[in-house]
Amino acid sequence: MHFITESRLDDGILEREFTLGDIPGILWTPPSAPAPLILLGHPGGLRQMYPRLAARARRSAADGFAAATIELPGSGDRPRSADADQARADLRRAMAAGEPVDEIVDRLVLPLVERAVPEWRTALDALLALPEIRGPVAYSGGVIAIGVRLALVEPRIVAAGLFAGSFVPRVMFDEARQVTTPLHVLLQWDDEGNDRQLALDLFDAFGSREKTLQANLGGHTGVPQFAGEDAARFFVRHLNDRSALPPG
């Protein structure tokens, strides 16, 4: 992990861009470091996503948490995948035509999960080696299929706030059933690019003993401010309850 830029935001937050091999990322640490960590998931494209990611990081810092994110495979400045681009085009076309999308979703999302999850875990290794990060760790955001897989395979993640705003391959429902991590799932009730029933089925499938679904009126980008605040309190509840990392 190499830090390439460093800037001090208001409220004393330190924002640093880094590279991890060829993966770009950003780390925000609050003045109160060493701090627990929230991994900020997103749909890819750090540059376009920066304003929203920085806003989420500021909220995390206000609660005393560091936040970090990395670019997804095939997004932003990383080499594109011809297969993923094809699948994305096919998905758009199928949705516009009202055709079934299951096979296309499998083609688009499964390889992404396979590539992204080990990268997130490598980033987590590097982040937890920094003196200003002490854990515990939570995952927050979309691509929800990545969140499902991470929650299942990564015991260092003690809570996951998932945004039900993208498709989940049906084969991953079996993984969801094995997840025991406490979950807070946000669903935009009128998300035009999302399958509401699939999101409800996925919430039902999760094996976690603590799981909350919060659905709000509005489209994909219309998450109301109070929903963000409720999600933040979910992280406070789970990240402040523990002073050390769980075994893993």
Q: Which residues bind a copy of itself (CB under 8 A)?
A: 189, 200, 203-204, 208-217, 224, 226-227, 229-230, 233-234, 237
For residue 78, give the nearest of 112, 127, 55, 54 by alpha carbon. 112
Q: How far is the CB of 231 from a copy of itself (least distance, A)?
A: 10
Q: How far is the CB of 119 from a copy of itself (least distance, A)?
A: 31
Q: How far apart are CA 211 and CA 36, in angstroms?
A: 21
What is the total residue count of the chain? 248
Q: How far is the CB of 222 from a copy of itself (least distance, A)?
A: 11
The residue among 59 and 156 lying less far from a copy of itself, judged by its C-beta, is 59
Q: How far is the CB of 203 from a copy of itself (least distance, A)?
A: 7
For residue 107, give the nearest of 73, 84, 128, 130 by alpha carbon. 84
Q: How far apart are CA 36 and CA 92, in angstroms?
A: 38
The CA dihedral of 169, 185, 140, 53, to the nearest 10 degrees, is: 100
Token pair belonging to 232: 């933040």
The residue among 46 and 186 lying less far from a copy of itself, judged by its C-beta, is 186
The residue among 3 and 226 lying less far from a copy of itself, judged by its C-beta, is 226
The residue among 130 and 213 lying less far from a copy of itself, judged by its C-beta, is 213
The residue among 95 and 236 lying less far from a copy of itself, judged by its C-beta, is 236
The end-to-end CA distance of the chain, in Å, is: 21
Q: How far is the CB of 150 from a copy of itself (least distance, A)?
A: 20
